[in-house]
Amino acid sequence: MNRKDLLGLRGVSREEITEILDTAERFRNVSERKIKKVPTLRGRTVVTFFMENSTRTRLSFDLAAKRLSADTLGFSASSSATKKGETLMDTARNIDAMKPDAIIIRHSAAGSPHMLAKAFPWAVINAGDGINEHPSQALLDMLTMRDHLGSLEGKTVAIVGDVYHSRVARSNIYGLTTMGAKVVVAGPGTMCPPSMSHLGVEVRHTIDEVVEDADVIMMLRIQRERLQPGMMSTVNEYSRFYGLDLDRLRKAKPNVVVMHPGPINRGVEMSPEVADGEQSVILEQVTNGVAVRMALLYLLLGGEPMGGDEHGS
Amino acid sequence: MAVETIILSGGRIVCPSTGTDLVADVLIQDGRIAAIGGEATGATGRTLDCSGAIVAPGFTDLGAELCDPGKSWREDLASGSEAGAAGGFTTVVCSPRTDPVVDNPVAVAELLARAAQVSGARVEVAGALTLGLEGQGMSELGLMAGAGAVAFSDGRKSMMNAALVRRSLDYARPFGRPVFLRPANTDLEGAGVMHEGEVSAQVGLRGMPAAAEEIGVATAIAMARLTGARVHLSQVTTANSVAQLRSAANEGLSVSAAAPARHLFLTDREVDASVYDTSTRLLPPLRSERDRVALVAAVMDGTVSCVTADHVPMTSLEKEMEYMLAKPGAMGLETALAATLTATNDPVSAVRALAVGPAAVLGRTADLAVGSVADVVVFSAEGTHEVAGPFRSKGLNEPLLGHTLSGRVLLTVRDGCIIYGPLDG
């Protein structure tokens, strides 16, 4: 893959996505071994720079870097200098002075990873910027879908919930449409405004309209921290109209794949029976997350070539 | 600054006020236009060859933020005046959005006293419509007019209280100064940082719908109808705003408006193309291509009688940060002509919108008539150039940087003194 950064899946080609997913598949078995480490990125420094809370994504990137033998160090909002009034660019200049190889950034402002990518020589991986993109999440989602469906070409993926405020949805929409899948979104009018159709998806307003034809149902988390007044009425009404429960799931294809990027609001987006049910692949998504992030670091940092036997699947 | 006898030789005189469009020499003497053609030819004085260039009345901007006092790292009266001169402006009305706010006669007088020292464009003062620009209590409009304020404005602040807008218009009328309003519903603008549309959906930034501006235009038109007062809208940018203005004009209402020059050339695509460059973060935001086309047409047919530089200079302190945290605004004085001329491809429209329209809002005539004050700009409308610094302004936020435009100011004369140039045409 010939890029310095991964800022989003918008504009990333089908060949590049395939290369990332194929590489991730080959890395997957590293995590199955007793000694879960390969020397691929020995001596390289990967910084996780999280200006918004995260558990899963930060741990996943951290683990991915460590399993490739990179040195890692973490900045987070609570420990960072931002609280003392330092600008993002000044913090980044300081990190730059420590000669990192890659920075994984999460930030509440869309475009922040792009700003760093333009200004600095190291690789930037966007781990979520505002409501814009979260490409590694979409890649691990696509890897999980591919595991279950084979190809993504011609498949129908329903994304349900607060699509407008979801960077996970945006990245999935870009990636999936590039891979030839059809994406249908559903949610309250405030969270699935007509403008979403600019992204090449079909916009629906009831969950029942999208469940029946879907090969994949991706439920999004209600992000209370991003909601402005008047975006929804009550959690109860939301759950009644847009929650996935067993009754609704019964109308879906028998082999439908149910996904959620986590963390789940149990009983809101999906009932516990669905979250823990046999169609749910939520924990596979987490496992694939480490492999996808290993692949991204490997491809962007140009690690040592992988020997077929050593890492191959 | 020295008053000279100047002969502008061989240029194309474009003066929409007098309907002049011909190639002739212009004689400038004792700060006034002394002759056009005839005795101008062969007069003795400093002769400047203007052949191939356009000679027009100097431009007027109705709302530049010169940030002085209070934020003079961004701009001050001197640098703003020089930037204006470099852009062909002979008059720049500075916005009251300073620190402290220019909302009383002492502040107006103090600013005007300092403005008398500048050596570029003439700097005039708009007084704040409401105290502290807070949209609550009315400022001393009459006393500020007496101290020399040429207009009343709350700058970039939009007055949401229709009752107060009404009273402001009624109250300001006897003082004979225009009232400038920024048309906007700030609730609907909300947390938006760019135009709401296809691009905002694509780049994941919160949008401000065009309707937020259009509601403001509707309110202003309704208030003009109610009070019979003159209203000037300091920035309009959408197709529907233009449609409303056209209908208000047909109704005979006195509502004038200005289009920001860069909005005639750039669209919301620029946010994406520049990869979240914070100099594209503007208020009002860059709009869709459809809006842009409607705005250009409105400037050309006179529905929108003014183009404004919409000059809001900023530095890395305000702009080197996350897109949604960067302060909105961009420089404009030094690129307004080029953006307008490139978009309209018509020097007559450009002169009408940059010189004649804004002067008329102040109740003045911008012309090149014998006896008029010699406020003159000479510019080239041929060829193209890539917008590049350094700029006279202290600002660093120019979204047109790197774009190829036509229209280059070669000479600016104010009160018969050369304040910029001459550059070689």
pLDDT recorded at residue A313: 38
CA distance A34 to chain B (A): 42
> pLDDT tens, A236-263?
999 999 999 999 999 999 999 999 998 8
Q: What is the pLDDT of residue A195?
A: 87
pLDDT at A139 over 70: yes
A196–B201 CB contact, under 8 Å = yes
**CB-CB neighbors (< 8 A) of B323 in chain A:** 109-112, 115
Structure tokens at B29: 């003497």
- Binary contact (B196, A195; C-beta < 8 A): yes
Interface test with A, best of B316, B323, B327 (most A CBs within 10 A): B323
Interface contact B205-A87, CB threshold 8 A? no
Average pLDDT over residues B8-27: 97
Mean pLDDT of B272-294: 97
Half-sphere exposure of A3 (CA within 13 A, CB side): 21
Task: Identify which of A84, A23, A289, A87 has the alpha carbon closest to the alpha carbon of residue A168.
Answer: A289
Interstrand relation of B207-208 and B231-233 (parallel, antiparallel or unpaired): unpaired
Bigger pLDDT: B204 vs A78: B204
If you measure CA to CA, which chain A residue comes closest to B196? A195
Return residues 23-82 of A near B (CB < 8 Å): none
The pLDDT of residue B160 is: 80
Pair type for strands B179-181 and B231-233: parallel
The interface predicted TM-score (ipTM) is 0.89
CB contact under 8 A, B276 and A89: no
Is B203's CB within 8 Å of A111's CB?
A: yes
Q: Are A9 and A17 in contact (CB under 8 A)?
A: yes
Question: Taking phi first (over 0 means left), then psi (-120 to 50 degrees means alpha), and beta for anything else, what does residue B155 get?
Answer: left
Amino acid at B307: V
Q: What confidence score (pLDDT) does residue A205 get?
A: 85
Grade residue B2 by pLDDT with cuts at 50, 70 and 90: confident
A-proximal residues of B, 276-295, CB under 8 Å:
276
Residue B55 in this model has a pLDDT that exceeds 70: yes
**Length of chain A, please?**
313
Asked if A199 contacts A170 with a C-beta cutoff of 8 angstroms, the reply is yes
Which residue in B202, B277, B324 has the most chain A C-beta atoms within 10 A of its own C-beta, making it the best mutation to test that interface? B202
What is the average per-residue pLDDT within B255-284? 98
Cβ neighbors of B351 (< 8 A, separation 6 or more) are B14, B15, B16, B54, B56, B57
- Residue whose entry in the numeric block shows the structure tokens 């979409």: A138
| Mean of pLDDT over chain A | 92
Option in B204, B207, B324 nearest A133 (CB):
B204
Q: Is B272 a catalytic residue?
A: no
pLDDT at A234 over 90: no
**Interchain contact B191–A (C-beta under 8 A):** yes
Residue B320 DSSP symbol:
S
Quick one: closest CA in A to B209, which residue? A195
pLDDT at residue A223, as a whole number: 77
At residue B161, the pLDDT reads 86
Given this model, what pLDDT does residue A85 score? 78
CA separation for the pair A165, A161 (Å, rounded): 9
**pLDDT in the model for residue A308:** 44
Cβ–Cβ below 8 Å for A111 and B321:
no
Domains detected in chain B: 59-361 (3.20.20.140)
CB atoms within 10 A of CB A282: 18
DSSP state of A122: S
Distance from the Cα of A124 to chain B's closest Cα (Å) equals: 14
Interface residue B190 vs chain A (CB under 8 A): yes
- Please give the share of chain B, as a percent, with pLDDT higher than 90: 94
Mean pLDDT of B86-100: 97
Q: Does the pLDDT of residue A135 top 70, yes or no?
A: yes
Strand boundaries in B221-334, DSSP class E: 231-233, 255-260, 306-308
pLDDT of A310:
44
Residue among B151, B141, B64, B108 at smallest CA distance from B361: B151
**CA contacts within 13 A on the Cβ side of B366:** 30
The 10 Å CB-count burial string (b at 16+, else e) for B61-100 is bbbbbbbbbebbebbbbbbbbbbbbbbbbbbbbbbbbbee
| Contact across the interface for A89 and B324, Cβ inside 8 Å | no
| Residues B234, A78: Cα–Cα separation, whole Å | 43
Q: Tell me if A111 and B197 make a contact (CB, 8 A cut-off).
A: no
pLDDT digits (tens, 9 = 90+) for B106-121: 999 999 999 999 999 9
| Predicted confidence (pLDDT) at residue A123 exceeds the cutoff of 50 | yes
* Contact (CB, 8 A) for A131 and A170: yes
**B322 → chain A, closest CA residue:** A112
Token pair of B238, please? Answer: 């959408």
Number of Cβ pairs closer than 8 Å across A and B?
A: 61
Residues of chain B positioned with their CB less than 8 A from the CB of A109: 322-325
Distance (Å, rounded) from C-alpha B65 to C-alpha B329? 10
| Residues 6 or more apart in contact with residue A264 via CB below 8 angstroms | A221, A270, A275, A282
Tens digit of each residue's pLDDT (9 = 90 or more) over B152-201: 999 989 878 889 899 999 999 999 999 999 999 999 999 999 999 999 99
Asked if pLDDT for residue A84 goes beyond 90, the answer is: no
Confidence of residue B386 (pLDDT cuts 50, 70, 90): very high
Residue B383 gets the label, from left (phi > 0), alpha (psi -120 to 50) or beta, of left
Confidence tier at A306 by pLDDT (50, 70, 90): low
Question: What SS3 state is found at A126?
Answer: strand
Answer whether B320 touches A (CB < 8 Å): yes
Q: How far, in Å, CA of B112 to CA of B123, rounded?
A: 8
**A29 — phi, psi (to 5°)?**
-75, -15
Residue B413 has pLDDT above 70, yes or no: yes
Interface of B with A in 356-415 (CB under 8 A): none
Query: What pLDDT is stored for residue A81 in this prediction?
Result: 61
Half-sphere exposure (CA, 13 Å, Cβ side) for A154?
3
Q: Are the beta carbons of B54 and B378 closer than 8 angstroms?
A: yes
Candidates B272, B310, B367, B375; catalytic one: B310
* CA–CA separation, B87 and B76 (whole Å): 16
| pLDDT tens per residue, range A11-66 | 999 999 999 999 999 999 988 999 999 999 999 999 999 998 888 999 999 999 99
Percent of residues, chain B, with pLDDT higher than 70: 100
Give yes or no for A107 touching B (CB within 8 A).
yes
Quick check: A267 contacting B, CB < 8 Å?
no
Please report the residues numbered 269 through 308 in chain A whose beta carbons come closer than 8 angstroms to any beta carbon of chain B. none
How distant is the Cα of B298 from the closest Cα of chain A, in angstroms?
A: 27
How far apart are alpha carbons B146 and B168 in whole angstroms? Answer: 17
B136: left (phi over 0), alpha (psi -120 to 50) or beta: alpha
Instruction: Look up tokens 């989602």; give the residue.
Output: A141
CA distance B133 to chain A (A): 27
pLDDT surpasses 60 at A305: no
A69-83, A200-214, A238-252: least confidently modelled range: A69-83
Q: Find residues 190-219 of chain A whose CB sits inside 8 Å of chain B.
A: 195-196, 198-199
Please tell me the predicted confidence (pLDDT) of residue A307.
47
Helix (H, G, I), strand (E, B) or coil at B124: strand
The per-residue pLDDT for B419 is 98
Which pLDDT belongs to residue B366? 98
Q: Give me the DSSP letters along B368-395.
A: --TTSB--EEEEE-SS-EE-----SSS-
List the single residue in B with minimal CA-CA distance to A174: B202
- Classify B284 as helix, strand or coil: coil
